[in-house]
Structure 1
Amino acid sequence: MMRAQGGDREAYRYLLEAITPYVRALAARQVRNRGDLEDTVQDVLLTVHAVRHTYDPARPFGPWLVAIANRRIVDGLRQRGRIGSHETVLDTEHETFSASGANFQEEAVDARAVRDAIEQLPIGQREAVRMLKLEEMSLKDAAAVSGMSVASLKVASHRALKTLRKLFASQGNKT
């Protein structure tokens, strides 16, 4: 570590390679999850890198390293404990999936009703909805294609959606 503090890159690389298995063994005593273990080891190595200037070459290196490692391990455990206390483990019984093929007839009817409703709109609103919502064009691209300004497209799209909402609300459908 003394040579690494002096700027010897090769000594620093060797130091990090040499302490990694030791740090991993220290962390493995308290961290059970392999992913968390590797994250903890990396956290310790990053901390060693960040505070390497605090090492006093007149003192032993081992206790300095163990003190840093133990603090970072405990900090990691606390953090994962805080996060874990707010999470719920999801098991397979918590999963819900709709049956494949379910509701296709309703979707076809809904799609047809939307297409029919769009066809009832004035041409400017119809084109705005088609380009912006159905074809997902950007405002800039739709303006270039249609010859309308961006502001006009926004207004036409807003009015079209307002009209469609009213139409479906009067039919008892919610969109």
Structure 2
Amino acid sequence: MAGSELPHAAYYGMSSPRAGSGNGPADEAALVALARGGDLPAFEYLVAIYQRRLFRLAYRMLRDRGDAEDVVQDTLTAGWRMLPTLTREEAFGGWVYRTATNRCLDVLRHRTSHPQDLPGADPLADAAAVATARDSDREADPHHTAEVAAELESLRRALSLLPADQRACWLLREVHGQSYAEIGAALRISPQAVRGRLSRAREHLSAAMTQWR
């Protein structure tokens, strides 16, 4: 596999895998094996699987669309370059999550010490759409829609006040379903440390969201 750039067809505008193509662990391992051998369409499928997931993680971590897009692009470009060195196909998913998380933390470390309200849409807006779409009756109820939006705004603000490592733990666990071991590998801490940070994050968010119980 020559070159260090992400293949042009795998940028943000490409479509998701076709319905019925499957993207479970076995299918993903097969795609990784093909991509590692230089199969460009296989890698494009991997990009289609991961780009939205990684963007949601990066956007919620960084609260800036441009920075989040850069993190995803850098992560997937690095993923293309590292494929020949990958020894286990099943390790690809953990690697991209770990790399994206650490790139987000790097961005946060290098930001100025002057906090500001970053522009862009609510990073949890997609969750609001899901919540309202679940109930067709409520979906047409402006009061319910406004209530969901206000609750998610409170969650967004509470998340933004968490230390970066706690925010990462909470997002990786609660939104992306990562195990304690996977989160620990991403943050280079022990699973026990993950539990501690996650507990503190949940305590803070629980207190912040009291009015919504």
TM-score band (shorter)?
Answer: 0.3 to 0.5
TM normalised by structure 2 equals: 0.35
| Larger-Rg structure | 1
TM normalised by structure 1 equals: 0.42
> RCO higher in 1 or 2 (8 Å CA, sep ≥ 6)?
2
